[in-house]
Amino acid sequence: MDLVLQPFLRSLETGSVYALAALGIIIVWRTSLVMHFAQGSMGMFAGTAVAFVFNRSGLPLWQSVLVGVAVAVALGFLVDFAIIRRLKRATAVGKEIITLGLIMVFLGLAPIVFGTDPMLLPRFIPSGDIKLAGANISYNGILNILIGVVIAAGLFLLLQKTKLGLAVRATASNESTARLMGVPTRSVTLLAWAMAGVLGMLAAVMIAPTTTVTPTFMNTVQVSALFACVLGGFQTFYGPVVGAYLIAVLSNFLKLYVSSVWGDQLMYLLILVFLIFRPNGLFGKTYMQKV
């Protein structure tokens, strides 16, 4: 077994999960200027819904995921419609604290709605793997990597090439100006929260087969996604995606070659040290205050 390529391929798999979660955070950040701390928890809730439907109703996995999409969109709409957009006078910090409150709400709600027993969720492609220059990768792993790359690329094209993307970018750069220019900023923001929900749900469904579905199973993903944004910088959409893959690679190699116990912690420290030298992240520009 190859000791470089193997962990690298593994990393691409988890990197895709982190990238999706990070994209959710960045979309909300760019449109609402709010750090979406509940991204992981909302993904957890929708992902648990998928596991619940799959285990209880016997629907095939892909149909269960469709149910998950519906749940995630509904949650995203609900959070923006019922809470965020009503906070006209609250500061960004106020909104961020709200997302912290939402973590607790979803964490408490999940066992009440879906029961307290931990659930399992199978892989999309149950078995089979291919050999690649001495390393193994499962079909499911390839699928996960593809999902991550395709969605990231698709979102990128959507944002750069379509009218919708223009609206999102306009809202991101200056909400009130965008509104005056006729951009439906409310719909854009609503859409951003829903998209974040779906991305979080996908991340949850992809990471679930490696663990059991419990209220805390998305914690690592949430922390990694936040760090991916910090590492890649908050100003671009591609930065956090690159950051996500880097974090996954770094984490896996540190765990393999330095310490299986302290790998993640070492990586956190490394990123903090990195911040000293490049405070705005890999692709970030110096942020200029408006006076």
- Contact residues: other proteins, CB under 8 A: 35, 37, 83, 86-87, 90-94, 96-98, 100-112, 116, 215, 219, 223, 226-227, 230, 261-262, 264-265, 268-269, 271-273, 275-276, 279-280, 287-289, 291
Indicate the residue among 139 and 268 with the shorter CB distance to other proteins: 268
Indicate the residue among 157 and 269 with the shorter CB distance to other proteins: 269
Indicate the residue among 4 and 278 with the shorter CB distance to other proteins: 278
Indicate the residue among 146 and 275 with the shorter CB distance to other proteins: 275
Distance separating alpha carbons of residues 118 and 139, to the nearest angstrom: 26
Q: Return the amino acid letter for 79.
A: V
Indicate the residue among 19 and 135 with the shorter CB distance to other proteins: 19
Instruction: State the Cα angle at 16 between 270 and 163, rounded to 5°.
Output: 110
Spell 119-142 as b/e; 16+ CB within 10 A means b.
Answer: bebebbeeeeeeeeeebebbebbb
Other CB atoms within 10 A of residue 103 CB: 18
Measured from the CB of residue 35, what is the shortest distance to other proteins in angstroms? Answer: 5
Measured from the CB of residue 92, what is the shortest distance to other proteins in angstroms? Answer: 8
Measured from the CB of residue 147, what is the shortest distance to other proteins in angstroms? Answer: 26
Measured from the CB of residue 279, what is the shortest distance to other proteins in angstroms? Answer: 4
- Inter-axis angle of helices 39-57 and 92-114, nearest 10: 20
Measured from the CB of residue 9, what is the shortest distance to other proteins in angstroms? Answer: 26
Distance separating alpha carbons of residues 85 and 68, to the nearest angstrom: 24
Measured from the CB of residue 284, what is the shortest distance to other proteins in angstroms? Answer: 9
Indicate the residue among 101 and 154 with the shorter CB distance to other proteins: 101
Alpha helix (H) residue ranges in the chain:
5-32, 39-57, 61-78, 92-114, 139-161, 163-173, 175-180, 185-207, 219-232, 238-257, 263-277
Measured from the CB of residue 286, what is the shortest distance to other proteins in angstroms? Answer: 10
Cross-strand partners of 132: 135
* CA nearest to 191, candidates 36, 97, 39, 79: 79
Residues contacting residue 133 through CB under 8 Å, at least 6 positions apart: 2, 5
Distance separating alpha carbons of residues 41 and 45, to the nearest angstrom: 6
Indicate the residue among 108 and 134 with the shorter CB distance to other proteins: 108
Distance separating alpha carbons of residues 82 and 102, to the nearest angstrom: 12
